[in-house]
A and B are shown apart, each in its own frame.
Chain A
């Protein structure tokens, strides 16, 4: 008979991860003034993890966590003062526990040195030698008695104290449990029964003589009574078999006359005939191996309720339309139209609602930063404070998972290169403590995440010089501040005099930018030398939905992602310049923006083939501006992105397709892809020219 609890392992792992997060954030705040609830909650989290781990047999976790729990117990009892070194050890312990939990989740063995080291440190802190600590680990109370025993006859005298039942114990049920061990005979003794008038209904005046034929040990019998051992007299003797029965039969007969509903002198049959079996069959079928997690989302009940309401409305609309359809006549056309409008509304709302399920507050991504900054502060020896705001701002789960690493890099950067050391700051009239701010907010259908520091800011000249050195630009080039800052994102760029291991060998920023772009977003830098810098990351709220501008080229409709559009304008002829051969440049303020005729790129027929009076949609990608020539600007709308690659393949210049309201398919333009395509064609047609002019306008 075995009940498989492995289906609960995922819950335990999830719970442990949350518990560890709680421990970490509470530990970071823990100091002398912390109230007992804080330390208690840390203790409870460790305690739960230990308990759960023990249940599933994750012994390395149990043993390690026991040390942590012991230390925490001393702290919460007041036996140990809360001291920062201990907190550091505990923080390291949390890291170790995390590693172990992850190893369990990934079904690999955990062999990190850190765990062994921290374990030793914990023991030192507790001043317990490893020999002793084994003793205090919660021992499995199962006693395994291997010796084969022959059936013996046990004589048990059970004399409970009068108030026994008030503890919730019931002698009959104890005997029930005892009968699992073998053949049991029970004889009640009423010697102590007082007269009816003196009797207290809530007290117990009976005693019992029991006879158990079993191959169990005395320990086994004692165990059944362990809860009442202080409230009774228990005499256990072994009698040779055969002798006993007669004597007691006499007693039984005598006592049978006594009226007593509650107590009976039944001979309780041995457990073999019991129907109290646990339903093992069912549980065996039910138990399955814990499958690897596909990934799950916690959804607030309110969101689910909202969905249920919307579905309800949809059902009403459907039945209304269905009824209309049953007996349709042309006179009902208006009702049909309004019914369909209603359907549109319902579907839209439902869609938005469902998309929002994947939305989680960004606090999930932000919550690793207090610890990170704490560690960075220690590592760099600088005093750094982290301020987080906007953590309730929601974004898509997948986007959030992928934005984590880039954000970490930006924060590391801020700590390493941004914030100056205390003395430099004081000399500059700044507070000794540097501040890094993390903020998130919604802006026009996107989410903006800001990483801000009040550090040294970006030195434009240094960047410029470095870029010239690396042949990224020419010394004679005239670049705006933002263009200079954008150079930071070029591969291989790093101005740190020494390459610190915190920020890496300059491989960071270009990867950050690429990651952000692959999510459909962009990154922007603002800085004031001496005052600080702000990195702004713009991201779409979801990966599946895009805000797009519909444009017409010939008879085809295309969609340009709004996030890429700088502006749309009607060409003024005098701002057009033709450069070597076919290249057309449009002067947009200080920039010379190359004009890309979509119809040419895609080999379509178009209405407008001349630039002079064309409509231009100026887009930006990779720091480059390009003017897309279109025939007409249509509506702006949200579109659902559908993959072309599923049934077809990746197409240059196209990032996906969508289905418009009329059921037709429209292609979504991939701006960087189009620019690359243009370069490629340029190479084919006239090698050097077009390529250069596109490349130069960075």
Chain B
């Protein structure tokens, strides 16, 4: 089963992303900030990482950078969840090695359709 790491400091967003993914048959693991996400990534493999940008302890951009340093995550799709659709955000994400972005407000159907670009 396709395994997804969901990283967000908001309980409700995490719950919803997880729920949406699970109902589509994905397996999910949740983390509450970048630090938590990184430690979970270090002990486990994932087919996809979905992460918020603004989080305490380690933000999403830094998480992305750190993940790319791990050999098991070199090619793993990492998507940033953001409310900003500005070009600036895109650039920061790409510079950190992000695969793509998902814009909040969060639409479950859109999420499922969009992640098909990077997972089965």
A and B directly contacting (CB within 8 A): yes
Interface residues of A (CB under 8 A from B): 1-3, 5, 8, 11-12, 15, 37, 40-41, 43-44, 47-48, 50-55, 62, 138-142, 165-170, 173-174, 176-177, 180, 202, 224, 226-227, 230, 276, 278-279, 282-283, 286
Complex interface: chain B residues within 8 A of A141 (CB): 85, 103, 110
Residues in chain B near residue A11, CB distance under 8 A: 11-12, 15
**A286 vs B114: C-alpha distance in the bound complex, in angstroms?**
23
Residues in B lying within 8 Å of A, measured CB to CB:
9-13, 15-16, 19-20, 23-25, 54-56, 74-78, 83-85, 94, 97-101, 103-110, 112-114, 116-120
Assess A138 versus B75: contact at CB under 8 Å? Given A43-B54, A54-B106.
no
Chain A residues whose CB sits within 8 angstroms of the CB of B15 once the complex forms: 8, 11
The answer on a CB contact under 8 Å between A168 and B78 is yes
Contact between chains at B105 and A278 (CB < 8 Å): no
Does the CB pair A168–B118 fall under 8 Å? yes
CA gap between A91 and B26 in the complex, in Å:
42
- State A227–B114 Cα separation when bound (angstroms): 10
- Expressed in whole angstroms, the minimum distance between the Cβ of A13 and any Cβ of chain B is 9
The answer to whether B97 touches A167, judged by C-beta atoms less than 8 angstroms apart, is yes
- A15-B11 contact given A168-B76, A168-B78, CB 8 Å threshold: yes
Q: A51-B83, A169-B118, A170-B77 are in contact. List 16 more A-B contacts (CB 8 A).
A: A3-B19, A3-B23, A8-B12, A8-B16, A44-B56, A50-B83, A51-B105, A52-B12, A52-B13, A55-B107, A166-B75, A177-B114, A180-B113, A227-B117, A230-B94, A279-B24
Chain A residue at minimal CB-CB distance from B83: A138
Task: Assess A48 versus B77: contact at CB under 8 Å? Given A142-B110, A230-B94.
Answer: no
Contact B12 A44 (CB under 8 A): no
Q: A41 — which chain B residues lie within 8 A by C-beta? A: 56
Chain B nearest CB from A293 CB (Å) reads: 15
Residues of A within 8 A of B74 (CB): 166, 202
Chain A residues closer than 8 Å to B117, beta-carbon distance: 169, 173-174, 176-177, 224, 227
* B54 lies within 8 A of A47 (CB): yes
23 A-B residue pairs with CB within 8 Å: A3-B108, A3-B109, A8-B16, A15-B11, A43-B54, A51-B10, A51-B83, A51-B104, A51-B106, A52-B10, A52-B12, A54-B106, A55-B13, A138-B104, A138-B105, A140-B107, A167-B98, A168-B97, A177-B117, A227-B100, A278-B25, A279-B24, A279-B25
Rounded to whole angstroms, the CA-CA distance of A5 and B107 in the bound complex is: 10
Chain A residues lying within 8 Å of B114, measured Cβ to Cβ, are 177
In the bound complex, residues from chain A placing their C-beta under 8 Å from that of B109 are 1-3
Docked CA distance A170–B100 (Å)? 12
